[in-house]
Chains A and B, each alone.
Chain A
Amino acid sequence: MMIDLPLIWAVIIAVAVFMYVLLDGFDLGVGILFPLAPDDESRDRMMASVIPVWDANETWLVLGGGGLLATFPHAYAIVLPAVYLPVSVMLIALIFRGVAFEFRAKANTSRKWWDRAFFFGSLIAALCQGFVLGAFVQGFKVVGRDFAGGPFDWLTPFSILTAVSVVAGYALLGSGWLIQKTTDALRDWCYKIVRGLFVIVLICIVAVSLWTLQLNPIITERWFRWPDILYQSLVPVLTGALLLTLLWAVTKRRDRVPFFCSIGLFTLCYLGLGISLWPYAVPFEMTIHEAAAAPASLSFMLVGTLIVLPLILIYTVFSYWIFRGKITGDIQYH
């Protein structure tokens, strides 16, 4: 039996990217909400809630990049030159945001600058990721196996919409995270904004979805094909169910629920994206099989990954378990 290595790797890379979106998503979201928080003491707690885990969360981005290079090099070699500017700016934003954790704790007079670095770093990184997402879904101009477009092809009305959507989405994840990690005024404030954020994100999702259908007939055909439309019509039903659950959780003050409602919403969007773009590694230009590395390389990596990735997941869960529960005073810089 032939194992479809590119298919297996497409699933693994998709999962890695999704892990990144969820995990760094909530800590970038905390950064986006940072300047809006009620007071300085709240800001310290917001920071403390992500300090022990942000570094490992961001590592999924490195796995996404490194994994894409290793498994779908021909897609990697088209996509990254095409989104050169947003990726470069994103990396620089992540630098400022990453060092802000340390420097803020050590700073005296320059503290407010590192607060700004944390906020703008998070916001700009999220915007850039949204631009990359929008540009990716729209597709790139490709000649042979090279990107052949211009340096600003990624900047379109559609990618502006996706950029705003990603910022809203991360803010939603961030507020959900903070509700389950905090108490008192900060939690009350998050409860106040989480419903609004959820609705904004829903509007974004509807707008992006309708626009995506217009982008390419392949996508429209895929979504309205009988009988697939039956399963796919579950998506709006499930989304509605998530909204009702969230409203219930906010009224009843169920601290754990809003975060998982946001994760549910992201999962549905991500699956929807997968349905639209399958089986392309570079949308509408190159399939995963055309973009894949040599079978010898894919199988060499698969052996190790099947052992190492579960271990990573185990100790990641372990680390979240160590830092479980509401933020107390003990997580801070020495």
Chain B
Amino acid sequence: MEFDPTLLSRIQFAFVITFHILFPSFTIGLASFIAMLEALWLFKKQQYYLYLSKFWTRIFAISFGMGVVSGVVMSYQFGTNWARFSAYSANVVGPLLAYEVQTAFFLEATFLGIMLFARNRVPKPLLAFSAFMVAIGTLISAFWILSANSWMQTPDGYELRDGLVQVTDWWRAIFNPSFPYRFAHMVVACFVTTGFVVVAVNAWFLLRGTHKTLARYTLSMTLWLLTLLVPLQIFLGDQHGLNTLEYQPSKVAAMEGHWETEKGAPILLFALPDQEKETNHFEIAIPKLGSLILTHSLDGTVPGLKDWPPQDRPHVATVFWSFRVMVGCGVLMLGIVLWSVLLRTRKRLFDNPLFLKTCVLAGPIGFIAVVAGWFTTETGRQPWLIFNVMRTFDGASPGVPAGSVLLSLALYAATYAIIFGAGVYFILQTVRQGPR
């Protein structure tokens, strides 16, 4: 059986980046949460802030460690598997990644060491400062990497010279058209993901009847935060979608499963898109709603996939369904925060077992939404590596045979299975032990 090295490299990249994104999605929010707890401990001096901070720091350390080691892998994927892409686009992508390392990774790694191990060695304000630096580092990192990713989605501020990408305007390259939307959507996604984990852990404490005071305080505070952030995230998602419609209409056509360009387009709740026959099976649709959401007008024009030749279309079913999974998670999240508001008004937030059990089950919901969202935007960019500039199949490394990629992919799969299993086990063990 013949394997295609480029296809294997795509599978490998999808696998290692999907694994990696789980950790930043959680630690970006958690770092800010811990920094806030450290600041409260510093200024308000109540012991329980310290307990909470130490408890979440133990979980943070496990997650962050796994994020670091899977992140080092990412920084070499560009060279080992996507050498042509690297050489072609390095003038833009290179500096963004190099700045990420310099302004974020060193900051996070160095101050994390102080935050984790120097509590008995440095004065309290310095420890809070270190927690703050780690939190800032995670956000700076998100800034650069999302700028690089957004540039691949909506390239700007460049020209093609001597067969390579050359930057003409740094501001427009960094703040390219989709970057502000993607950055806002992703950072809020991280906070929401962390929020649901924190809520799940504390709901579980309440169900078990342990750490009652701490759990009530944290659950209530985090649910307030989510009550603000979930609607905000839905709004940002809508804005991001409008931006995608403007700059990557083929992606939106695939997200919506529309084959024909039409006015007053419906929204599809269910469909099985058929790439070959250029149609959908078993459609369940609501008339006009697609146009309303995408153009904010009942008769707005929504693009169809047939506007592009078949070789320029993404794989519709993947984009269509990952988008629905993400939106579905969003709807569930909205339901949970609305339920929490309802319970608050009746002063039953902490003693409704069904609600608390739902919160425990919803712990991983943010991760599912984040991964589904990234699948939507990344598979929706296909067949382009740099949208409308470079095709994915032109970006792979020459001189790397399928056997090498198969071997590395198998090793990554085995390694990640082991450390993911162990990491989740140790995190759950830490949760069971609780704050102390």
Contact = CB atoms under 8 A, between A and B. Distances in A.
User: Lowest 3 A-B CB distances belong to which pairs?
Assistant: A70-B94, A80-B79, A73-B90
A26 B87 CA distance: 33
Interface in B390-411: 397-401, 403-404, 407-408, 411
A294 B57 CA distance: 43
Given A51-B113, A80-B80, 10 more contacts: A55-B113, A58-B109, A68-B79, A69-B78, A69-B94, A76-B79, A147-B83, A319-B114, A322-B118, A332-B117
Contacts, number: 234
A323 B411 contact: no
Given A70-B98, A293-B94, A330 B120 contact: yes
B242 interface: no
Given A56-B110, A59-B106, A294 B91 contact: yes
A87 B166 contact: no
Contacts of B86: 69, 73, 76-77
B72 interface: yes
Nearest to B418: A96
Contacts of A127: none
B95 A301 contact: yes
Interface string B64-91: 0110111111011011100110110011
Contacts of B80: 80-81, 84, 87-88
Given A294-B91, A294-B164, A305-B102, A81 B398 contact: yes
Interface of B is mostly: helix
A94 B72 CA distance: 9
A85 B86 CA distance: 19
Given A99-B422, A151-B403, A309-B102, A145 B87 contact: yes
Interface string B143-163: 000000000000000000000
A53 B113 contact: yes
Contacts of B270: none
Interface residues of A, number: 71
Q: Which of B78, B114, B399 has the most CB of A within 10 A?
A: B399
Interface of A is mostly: helix
B386 to A, nearest CB: 14
Nearest to B411: A92
Contacts of A63: 98, 101-102, 105-106
Interface of B: 54, 57-58, 61-62, 65-66, 68-73, 75-76, 78-80, 83-84, 86-87, 90-95, 97-103, 105-107, 109-114, 116-122, 164, 166-167, 170, 397-401, 403-404, 407-408, 411-412, 415, 419, 422-423, 426, 429-430
A67 B87 contact: no
A61 interface: yes
Given A76-B79, A89-B411, A319-B113, A146 B429 contact: no
Contact of B397 (A80, A312, A323): A80
A32 B113 CA distance: 22
Contacts of B121: 322-323, 330
Interface of A: 51-53, 55-56, 58-59, 61-63, 65-71, 73-74, 76-82, 84-85, 87-89, 91-92, 94-96, 98-99, 101-103, 106-107, 110, 145-149, 151, 293-294, 296-297, 300-301, 304-305, 308-309, 312, 315-316, 319, 322-323, 330-334
A300 to B, nearest CB: 6
A45 B388 CA distance: 55
A300 B411 contact: no
B92 to A, nearest CB: 8
A297 B114 contact: no
Contacts of A99: 65-66, 69, 419, 422-423
A106 B114 contact: no
Contact of B113 (A52, A66, A148): A52
Contacts of A77: 79, 83-84, 86-87, 397
Nearest to A151: B404
B122 to A, nearest CB: 6
